[in-house]
């Protein structure tokens, strides 16, 4: 099937950038991104492309180029499904907060709703592409819903997991390490796979497009995220040992990263990984392993999460201990709230958990983040349900200017590795703070020697 019309359900961090790049590189394909969230669609349609709801370097330019030409954002889900030959499902699959598998399994209610809606609306054969990260064998469930509730038309289900990382989404999409497409090993399945291969071939070379069976594709996504997160927990585990022994984690990371079998990437010790994927996917993997009775496999991967939680807690404990075992009524300034630089996404950001711990110790938290709004920060804290909204409002002060945020602070904590933090006038910041002035660098981005020569007490991770 030659694809000329694509619909994507879900205009989030995955659906939005992915479809923008497909539209940019396939001018002959009409791409419509739909979402139930009217505000989100209105924001994607904002006349000023700078105001689109997701911040990613380079994304607003692509949206400006393709929007209205062959890229459309709409709330009319039924029409977009009906029109399209190929439908991507990019809705959220959060960890379940209720019932069986609570706190571990992926919540598939949004996926199921999409499948039922596609089944109800579709009057012609369709290819349905799973883009959201899903537990293994979800495609089977989608297929069963489509076949049993549909109008007798044929559906092919493909798994096409997204490997983009936020903050580099556009670059990752334009120049992916690989594209993975899983499908049925039948003739119809292969035809569907080829239709999707043709879409990507418009800008990705064929040798980077892998095709597998559906289950391998689904499991590869979970495996990739588990391996990446495991590297971070491994280096973070070593960072604690470094702090006890006098070794320096940056030196250790450099030394092991030069081993070509290990490689240099994903070895940055930090306050702990965040983001919408790592924790969710590993918990999901743990749940799947347990459900097959593979307890050792489950325990092995769960340790990655346990280590990450420990690293976040260790960071807040270190702040309290260093500040003479009390932070009550002290102003502690966070530079950064996003889970990594170059994104406005805060899901599972370490900053949320560190703030929560310190507020429990009655600290007053001030925050500056170049891209995250005050409302977002407050709703992140509210989501933990540790205290009332009023109490969170009283404990969290959000600033538009980093120097203002740091004024009269007892300590500064770096929670996100935004580049601009390294270029600040640290002497000016020092002069405006209470003494001794502490810096807790949760990302090891600042120049320790320079800060110490100004007079700061500097504490990085793993040294
Ligand atoms: C991740 C995967 O990289 C991506 O392939 C998948 O599609 C989705 O999940 P993402 O969560 O967007 O992407 O960002 P990533 O760059 O992987 O960073 C995740 C977290 O790990 C961030 O909090 C980051 O700061 C942290 N991190 C990363 C470290 O602490 N140290 C590192 O060395 C690398
Ligand atoms: P991701 O990071 O996976 O892209 P997001 O939460 O950013 O996740 O985006 C998922 C989007 O999917 C949200 O904007 C949500 O409103 C949308 N969504 C969820 N269920 C449906 C549905 N049944 N129909 C249309 N949109 C949906």
Q: Average pLDDT in the 302-314 region?
A: 98
| Neighbouring-strand partners of residue 181 | 211
What pLDDT score does 9 carry? 98
The CA-atom distances, in angstroms, between 406 and each of 38, 222, 305, 425 are 37, 40, 32, 12
Beta bridge partners of 368: 335
At 435, the pLDDT band (50, 70, 90 cuts) reads very high
Please write the tens of the pLDDT for every residue from 100-109: 999 988 899 9
**SS3 label, residue 108:** coil
Distance of CA 316 to the CA centre of its chain: 22
Q: Is 12 in the pocket of ligand 2 (CB under 6 A)?
A: yes
Cβ count near 312 (within 10 Å)? 24
**d(C-alpha 41, C-alpha 448), whole Å:** 44
Q: Quote the tokens at residue 377.
A: 């920060």
Cβ atoms < 10 Å from Cβ of 375: 9
- Report residue 134's pLDDT band, with 50, 70 and 90 as the boundaries: confident
Q: With contact defined as beta carbons under 8 Å apart, do 161 and 133 qualify?
A: yes
- Is the shortest distance between the CB of 163 and ligand 1 below 6 Å? yes
The stretch 281-305 carries a mean pLDDT of 96
Q: CA-to-CA distance for 75 and 295, rounded, in angstroms?
A: 44
The percentage of residues in the chain with a pLDDT greater than 90, rounded to a whole number, is 94
Lookup: tokens for 140: 């089977």
Q: How far apart are CA 299 and CA 283, in angstroms?
A: 11
Residue 394 confidence class, pLDDT cut points 50, 70, 90 = very high
Is 8 designated active site? no
CA distance 424 to 429: 8
Which residue, judged by its Cα, is nearest atom 14 of ligand 1?
165
pLDDT at 426: 98
- Which residue's entry shows tokens 């205009």? 11
Ligand 1 geometric centre to CA of 266 (Å): 8
The span from the CA of 66 to the CA of 50, in Å, is 14
Q: Read off the pTM.
A: 0.95
Taking 90 as the threshold, does the pLDDT of residue 458 lie above it?
yes
Q: Give the distance (Å) from ligand 2 centre to CA of residue 262.
A: 36
Give the pLDDT confidence score for residue 135 in this predicted structure.
Answer: 80
> Mean per-residue pLDDT for 403-418?
98
Would residue 138 be called left, alpha or beta, if left means φ above 0 and alpha means ψ between -120 and 50 degrees?
alpha
Asked if residue 140 has pLDDT above 90, the reply is no
Is the CB–ligand 2 distance for residue 9 below 6 Å?
yes
Q: Where along the chain do its domains lie?
A: 5-204
Tokens of 249: 């984690």
**SS3 letters for 337-373?**
CCCCCCCCCCCCCHHHHHHHHHHHCCCEEEEECCCCC
Q: In which residue are the tokens 């790592």 written?
A: 278
Environment class of residue 448 by beta-carbon count within 10 Å: exposed (0-12), middle (13-18) or buried (19+)?
A: middle
Of 170, 165, 211, whose CA–CA distance to 25 is shortest? 170
DSSP 67: B
pLDDT of residue 1: 78
Each residue's pLDDT tens digit, 190-248 = 999 999 999 999 999 999 999 999 999 999 999 999 999 999 999 999 999 999 999 99
Is 3.40.50.720 the CATH number for 5-204? yes
Atom of ligand 2 nearest to the CA of 347: 2
- Segment 315-334 shows an average pLDDT of 98
415 alpha carbon, closest ligand: 1
């Amino acid at each position: 099937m030659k694809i000329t019309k694509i619909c994507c359900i879900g205009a989030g961090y995955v659906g939005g950038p992915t479809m923008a790049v497909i539209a940019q590189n396939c001018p002959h394909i009409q791409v419509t991104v739909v979402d139930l969230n009217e505000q989100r669609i209105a924001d994607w349609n904002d006349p000023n492309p700078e105001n689109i709801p997701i911040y990613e370097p380079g994304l607003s330019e692509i949206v400006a180029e393709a929007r209205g030409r062959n890229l459309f954002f709409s709330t009319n889900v039924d029409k977009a499904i009906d029109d399209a030959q190929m439908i991507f499902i990019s809705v959220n699959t959060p960890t379940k907060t209720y019932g069986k598998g609570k706190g571990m399994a992926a919540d598939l209610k949004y996926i199921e709703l999409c499948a039922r809606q596609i089944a109800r609306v579709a009057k012609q054969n369709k290819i349905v592409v799973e883009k959201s990260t899903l537990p293994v064998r979800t495609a089977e469930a989608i297929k069963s819903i489509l076949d049993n509730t549909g109008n007798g038309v044929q559906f092919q289900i493909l798994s096409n997991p997204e490997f983009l990382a936020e903050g580099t989404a556009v670059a990752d999409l334009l120049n992916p390490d690989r594209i993975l497409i899983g499908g049925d090993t039948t003739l119809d399945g292969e035809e569907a796979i080829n239709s999707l291969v043709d879409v990507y071939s418009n800008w990705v070379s064929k040798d980077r497009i892998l095709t597998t069976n559906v289950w391998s594709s689904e499991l590869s996504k979970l495996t990739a995220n588990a391996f990446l997160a495991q590297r971070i927990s491994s280096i973070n585990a070593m960072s604690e040992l470094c702090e006890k022994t006098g070794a320096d984690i940056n030196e250790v990371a450099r030394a092991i990263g030069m081993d070509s079998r290990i490689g240099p990437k994903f070895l940055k010790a930090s306050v702990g990984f965040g983001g919408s994927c790592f924790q969710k996917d590993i918990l999901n993997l743990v749940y799947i392993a347990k459900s097959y009775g593979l307890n050792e496999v489950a325990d092995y991967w769960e340790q990655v999460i346990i280590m990450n939680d420990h690293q976040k807690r260790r960071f807040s404990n270190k702040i309290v201990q260093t500040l003479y075992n009390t932070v009550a009524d002290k102003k502690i300034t966070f530079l950064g709230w996003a889970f990594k630089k170059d994104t406005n996404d805060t899901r599972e950001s370490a900053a949320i958990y560190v703030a929560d711990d310190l507020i429990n110790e009655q600290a007053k938290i001030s925050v500056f983040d170049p891209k995250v709004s005050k409302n977002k920060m407050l709703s992140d804290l509210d989501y933990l349900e540790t205290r009332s909204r009023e109490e969170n409002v009283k404990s969290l002060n959000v600033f538009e200017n980093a120097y203002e945020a740091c004024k009269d602070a007892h300590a500064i904590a770096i929670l996100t590795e935004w580049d601009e933090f390294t270029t600040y006038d640290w002497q000016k910041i020092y002069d405006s703070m209470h003494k001794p002035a502490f810096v807790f660098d949760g990302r090891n981005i600042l120049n320790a020697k320079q800060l110490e020569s100004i007079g700061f007490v500097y504490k990085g991770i793993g040294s």
